[in-house]
Amino acid sequence: MTSAGRRARSYDPSKTRAALVAQVGAVRAAVQVLTPAQLALPSGLPGWDVRLLVAHIVRQIDAVGMLLSEPAPDPAPPVTGLSVWAVSTAAIAERLDASTRETAAGMGDPVAAIDAASENLTPFLDEAVRADRIVPHVFGAMRALDMTVTRLVELVVHGDDLARATGVEVAHDRQAVAAVTRLLADALAVKAPGNSVEVRIPPYAAVQCVEGPRHTRGTPPNVVETDPMTWIRLATGRIDWETALEDAAVSASGERADLALHLPVLG
């Protein structure tokens, strides 16, 4: 179990590398079958159609090579952790919107754009999963491996957006979903520190959070449990807490087991 006071979670480099490759491939397979009409559909994100969503995904793949092509900072500065990244992304929302629109304007064929981004990614894959490599980032600096995990967040979350907007299935790599689930659970523990509520997302994560009486043994008095994809949608604001409860997609027991004030996490 991870809580805000424990050491930051580590991610396996080889599994992260394989998950990134698999998730890029899954998104490409979905984009390949989209029609012009589907690309013009609302994406579910404010002001974006599906074509803009795809352009954003292309940028997230391209970001790996772009950041790793920059020289490593010397001396290495303090690094931004994954949980800090997760709770800070809203600060650059306007910048992301502008850069996404710029990419979409020059994108041409979406599949060709993903292929080009994938080709640019390949030479950097081994360096991307090095825990000792530091890369520049808008929030300061990050370990290359951590930055690669953030790309899994982008690909899984926006792959799900793509599927829900178009009805085209986007496969989710198991390791990618595991990494995203854990990162967002750890970010919740940072955003709402404490030990009064246990949040369980089997089989990938369990964290304690929210201020209040500390639980030490036996069955916790406040427990929230859900499946990985429901958790990812809750943590990123794709569904709200009340809707998830009404749909029985999440269970919550105990007087403190209400996460509405702490969601979404991403942002």
State how far the Cα of 61 lies from the Cα of 31, in Å rounded to an integer: 14
Inform me whether the pLDDT recorded for 4 exceeds 50.
Answer: no
The reported pLDDT for the residue numbered 185 is 96
Helix (H) or strand (E) holding 128: helix 125-128
pTM of the complete model: 0.92
CATH placement of domain 7-177: 1.20.120.450
Grouping H, G, I as helix, E, B as strand and the rest as coil, residue 99 is: helix
Q: Is 214 exposed, middle or buried (0-12, 13-18, 19+ CB in 10 A)?
A: exposed
Cβ atoms 23, 121 nearer than 8 A: no
State how far the Cα of 120 lies from the Cα of 3, in Å rounded to an integer: 37
CATH placement of domain 180-262: 3.30.1050.40
Q: Residue ranges of the domains in the chain?
A: 7-177, 180-262
Cβ atoms 59, 103 nearer than 8 A: yes
Nearest to 250, CA basis, from 225, 232, 217: 225
The reported pLDDT for the residue numbered 216 is 61
Rounded mean pLDDT, 190-214: 91
Cβ atoms 223, 197 nearer than 8 A: yes
Inform me whether the pLDDT recorded for 51 exceeds 90.
Answer: yes
Inform me whether the pLDDT recorded for 163 exceeds 60.
Answer: yes
Inform me whether the pLDDT recorded for 143 exceeds 60.
Answer: yes
Mean confidence (pLDDT) of the chain? 91
Band of pLDDT at residue 73, cut at 50, 70 and 90? confident
